Structures are given as structure tokens and as C-alpha cells.
Amino acid sequence: MELLVILCAVCLQIFLTYKKLAPFLSLLIISIFAGFLLGMTPAQIIQSFEKGVGNTMGGLALVIFLGAVLGKILESGGATGKIASTLIDAFGERRIQWAVMLTGFLIGIPLYYNAGFVILVPLVFSISRKANLPLLYVAIPMAASLSTTHCFLPPHPSPIFLANAFQADIGKTLVLGLIITIPTVIIAGPLLGRILKNVASSSTTSFFTATEDPSRPTPAAAPSFLIGLLPVILIAIAVIAEAVLPGSSVNAIAQFIGNPVIALLIAALVAIWYFGIRAGQGMDATMKWLNEAIAGIAGIVLIITCGGVFKQILQDSGTDEHIAAISSQWQMPPLVFGWMITALLRVSIGSATVAGITAAGVVSPLVASGAVSPELMVLAVGTGSVFGSHVNDSGFWMFKEFFRLSLKQTFLSWSVMETLISILGLAGVLILDIFV
């Protein structure tokens, strides 16, 4: 019954989107629809609405807004244009996908997916315009790098939680994860991007300007890269300090400035000073950039919030526990079993992290029995957690709205990419299982 309700809700979402209803309204409608069909009372639905908004925005709001502000300042101050020109000159147009993939990979290791995404979006638009390349040709390698590091590699929340739950060695998990990540990103990034380059999309957006002011001085490459990567640098310092200096006052300071919100705030303030005030733009002009960033991102945040409400309805109705109970009755190889449970939960409830955490409780007995490598089970569950992303996933809506795609285009690009990452990841885990 639960799976049928989810299928009906997804179909209703597609229908309402086809009828041009605003996505945030359609998401709220299907949330109510699914809640009643799953046996929730009106009071429980309202409670899930409030909880879904709080849980989604509590972890995303400041990250998305500060990331958008940083991206807008870098774009308006000419930094993204400089970075794009430098990358194009260094790699050439034929290899620009690899440059974007490498940038996304380096940023994606220490930085949460959402923060890395909003930082790199203006760079993607700038490269697409400057090199006259299809938008998805450039965007897919970036998104694939961020998504793969998010589900496979510590210090991201889900891999860290799974490593602790399965008592896996984090260092070994990281090494094995990197072995799988590299070929997966190459196939789901540059190679898939070439296949999807003919999917029609616009390289202009209401959030980032389509043209640059020719009278504005172009910033130097070094500060452009340094300030753009500053959040990544601060978070990487925190990770190193935690490993090298645990319990020290230096580590405490590093953990504070390495928090994604604080790191983005510091980077945004530095960008405001360097590309705005120091460059002679004045406080009024610089704050205008900031206000434009917030205004441009507000609609996207609203859609993401409503996607979180839908996810919360599915979670509070017990759908995840029902699917986990059904899955536990299946008989299959442990690693495939872990992947399958997580993939089902991911498709059902939307959140990759929640899917992984929920699946951990089901497969932990297999790991405890010694039937499978705990490190490989971390990776199997992690790769299952990105399978089949669709309308109940906030990442789906971020990709759709930032790149101004239709629902069909998002399914053909984002959903295909996530599913490919998941399947390739499982194949990599099974191959490693032969040698580990």
C-alpha cells in the first residue's frame, strides 16, 4: 500500500508540474494527499509540515543563502569570470569538463553537497557562456563529483555515521571509496555530460547576470581562486585538526571556523571586502549584490523546503520502517541486500542521509556476524542512497531550478546521473569484494 501511495504521489506531482502549477504548491498538495492516504490524521500532517520545514531549513537555510551570497559576490566582482577564463586557458575547451570535475571533486571532499553546489553554480554558468558550451555539458561533471563524494567519502555525515554503526575503519573506507569514486565520477560526469549536451537548456538565469561590465577591473586569478575555495580550505583545516590535534584548543577553534555556516560566512565577508569595498564598488553597490543574491535564491529555498515537507510526511507515516521490514525478508548477497534496501528507502523518502541511516539498522546484524567487510558495507549503503532521485529529493529541485530545466529534462539529466552513480558504485563494491 505504501509503495502504491508513493507512486500515486509522484504521478500527481508530474501532472501538476505539467499543468504549470508552482512546484512549491504542488509539493504541499501531494504531501497532504500522501499523508491522508498513509493514514495520518490532520493534526499529524500539520505536525509533519512544521517538523519538515524545521529539519530542512535548519540544516540548509544559512548554507544555501550564504553560499548564494558568496557566489553572487564572486560573479558580480568578476572572480568567476576570471576563474572560468583561467580554467579554459589552462585546460582548453576540449578538456574543460575535466577541469570542472576536478574542481567539484576537490570541493566535494570536505564540503557538504548543498554548499559546494551553490558555490560552483556561478562558475558553471560563466564557463558555459565564455566557452559557448551547452550548460549540462559543464554542469553534469560538477554535480557528479559533488554527489559521489557526498555518498562515498568521509567526512560527509552519512559515511561517517555508517562507519561508526558498522565499526568500520574510516581511513580504509576513505581509500576504498576513492578507488570506486574516480571511475564512477569519470563515467557519470564528463562521459554522461557529452551524451546529455544536446538536452536543451538555457545558459542564462535570473540569479546570475548574463553579461559582465567591461569597465569593471578584472581581479587577479590567485585571490579569485583563493576566496572562492576559502570555505573548502577552512573545512579541510577542521578535518585535519580533528585528526591531528583532538581535544586541543587549536582544534576547538578549527572546528568553529570549519563549520560550513561559519566558513561560508567568513568567505562571504572576505569576498564583500575584496571584490566590493576594496575594489571601489562602495557599500551600497556591494549590498545591492547581496540583496539580489537573497532575492534570487528565495524561490529555490521555498521549493526545497516543501520537498522536505513531503519527505517528512513519508518518514513520520512509518513508510521507511515498512519498507525496511519488507526488505529484511529477502534472501540475497549481503552487499547487494544493503544496497537494495537503501535504494528502496531513497526512492521512497527522498533523503540520502535518512535512507542510509535507516538501512544501517537493518543490515548491521550482517556486519556484526562477520559475513561481510564493514568498509564495503558502508560503501554499498552509501551508493544505494543516491539511487533514483526524483521529486521528493531536495537535490532534484536544486538542480532543476538553478539550471532552469523542465521536469522531463531534470529526470533525463539529474535522475539519470544519480542512478548511474548508484549502479556503478555497486559494481565497484562487488569488484572490490573479490580482493578485500
| DSSP letters spanning 110-163 | TS-HHHHHHHHHHHHHHHHHHTT--HHHHHHHHHHHHHHHHHHSTTSHHHHHHH
Tell me if 345 sits within 8 A of 379, measured CB to CB.
Answer: no
Which residues, given as ranges, of the chain have pLDDT below 70?
Answer: 1, 3, 10, 13-14, 17, 59-60, 109-112, 115, 155-157, 200-217, 300, 304, 320-330, 351, 353-354, 357-358, 361
Angle, CA of 188, 418 and 430, to the nearest 5°? 75
CB 436: neighbour CB atoms within 10 A? 12
Angle, CA of 388, 191 and 434, to the nearest 5°? 70
Quote the pLDDT of residue 215: 57
Quote the pLDDT of residue 413: 93
**Three-class SS of residue 390?**
coil
Which three cell numbers mark 245? 590535534
Quote the pLDDT of residue 172: 85
CA–CA distance, 60 with 118 (Å, rounded to integer): 11
CB 83: neighbour CB atoms within 10 A? 23
What length is written for the chain? 436
Which three cell numbers mark 35? 499523508
CB 278: neighbour CB atoms within 10 A? 12
Which three cell numbers mark 375? 568498509
Burial profile 418-432: b = 16 or more Cβ within 10 angstroms, e = fewer: bbbbbbbbbebbeeb
For residue 22, with 0-12 CB atoms within 10 Å meaning exposed, 13-18 middle and 19 or more buried, which class applies? middle
Quote the pLDDT of residue 410: 92
How large is the greatest C-alpha to C-alpha distance in the chain, in angstroms? 68
For 280, left (φ over 0), alpha (ψ -120 to 50), or beta? left
**Three-class SS of residue 19?**
coil
CA–CA distance, 402 with 128 (Å, rounded to integer): 14
Looking at the chain, the whole-number percentage of residues with pLDDT higher than 70 is 86
Domain boundaries, the chain: 2-199+218-435
Quote the pLDDT of residue 210: 46
413 Cβ neighbours under 8 A, 6+ residues apart: 136, 139, 140, 196, 199, 399, 405
CA–CA distance, 280 with 223 (Å, rounded to integer): 16
